Amino acid sequence: MSEKLEKIVEAARLYYQMDYSQQDIAKKLGVSRPTVSRFLQQAKADGIVQITINDPLENNDLVCRQLERQFGLDKAIVVSTPSNDDNVVKKYIGEAAAQYLYDIVRDGDTIAVTWGTTLFEIAQRLQIKNVRDVKVVQLNGGLSYSETNTHASEIMHMIGGAFNTTPYLLPLPAIVDQPLVKQAIEADRHISKILEIGRKANIAMFTVGVPTADSVLVRANYLTQAELEVVNQVGKGDICSRFIDINGDVCAKELDARTIGIELEELRSKEYAVLVAGGIGKAEAVHAAVRGGYPKTIVTDTFTARYLLEQEKAVVC
């Protein structure tokens, strides 16, 4: 451990565990008070210090039970976040989802996952677990070209590493130009084997995308103009690159016929179908996904959880 790192850790211990003032710490370490302040900031930035705030006024347990009853979920995990910023929300729900995945995985399980920044947050926070004969497989194709990094390969290797296994990747585009191309690709015995592993997986962890102009799928020019118009008019989001309407039904049939990966109805048969998504921009897409009955478990933030309950109340009324 470097001398500077030793001082950062010591400053954190003195300040957070022993209630020393920053001035007292400065004298003890032989540095200036502003340096102590920088040490403490660095300790939080590097994860040496992690601060949890338990708000007694926020009853997430009640919200979880309401979500489970309203949408027929096996489990809802609702996370409090310090802000509604997308990056902050992803980190907090990613950490909760990583802990949940760690808790449920057992010997012999097969875990199927999709890609994207939310799944990347999960993969980064996943602890190593000593299990045997676990398989990790990619649920759907990725991108042949994109300015946005989907982290597909990194996600697979990190999750595989956490469970001591070599992952099965789908090094293919999410969407191809013609249905016949898709059929030919999926008929390949190697690809067919990977897709079959995904179908038989007892755990599926996925997120939702939104059909905005900066959507990874839209920017990759996978959609025809006609398909883009349909998605813009009725699409609320996508799961595994398959676009759905407010009821969770696939809303672009021609596009769906060109999409490589798991069929959405197959998610419903999983022992654990875990949707991890949140934030203001994804609230509608999450609502569409749960109305479609695809997840059995959701991991989301308090804003999105309340949005789901309010929307269902409005539908009933």
Q: Give dist(CA 210, CA 166) in Å, integer.
A: 31
CB 162 within 8 A of CB 129: yes
| pLDDT value at residue 309 | 93
Q: Give dist(CA 300, CA 280) in Å, integer.
A: 11
Q: Give dist(CA 5, CA 201) in Å, integer.
A: 43
Across 66-75, 254-263, 274-283, least confident range = 254-263
What would the two tokens of residue 5 be? 């790192």
What would the two tokens of residue 212 be? 């905005």
Across 19-33, 207-221, 251-265, least confident range = 207-221
Whether 1 shows a pLDDT value over 60: the answer reads no
Report the amino acid identity of residue 181: V
More confident site: 38 or 232? 38
Whether 258 shows a pLDDT value over 50: the answer reads yes
Beta bridge partners of 298: 76, 275
Cβ neighbour number for residue 217 with a 10 Å cutoff: 20
Whether 261 shows a pLDDT value over 60: the answer reads yes
CB 195 within 8 A of CB 186: yes
What would the two tokens of residue 299 be? 């991991």
241-278 residues labelled b (16+ CB within 10 A) or e (exposed): bbbbbbebebbbeebbebbbbbebebbeebebbbbbbb
More confident site: 37 or 146? 37
DSSP at 31: S
pLDDT average, residue stretch 249-253: 89
Q: What digits encode the pLDDT tens for the residues 170-219?
A: 888 888 989 999 999 999 999 999 999 999 999 999 999 888 767 777 77
Across 65-79, 125-139, 146-160, least confident range = 146-160
Q: Give dist(CA 261, CA 134) in Å, integer.
A: 20
Q: What digits encode the pLDDT tens for the residues 85-136?
A: 888 999 999 999 999 999 999 999 999 999 988 999 999 999 999 999 999 9
Q: Give dist(CA 52, CA 41) in Å, integer.
A: 16
pLDDT average, residue stretch 249-257: 89
The answer for residues whose C-beta is within 8 angstroms of residue 184's C-beta and 6 or more apart is none
Runs of H (alpha helix) within the chain = 3-12, 22-29, 33-45, 60-71, 86-104, 117-125, 152-162, 179-187, 189-200, 216-219, 225-234, 253-256, 283-291, 302-316
| pLDDT value at residue 78 | 96
pLDDT average, residue stretch 23-33: 92
pLDDT average, residue stretch 67-88: 93
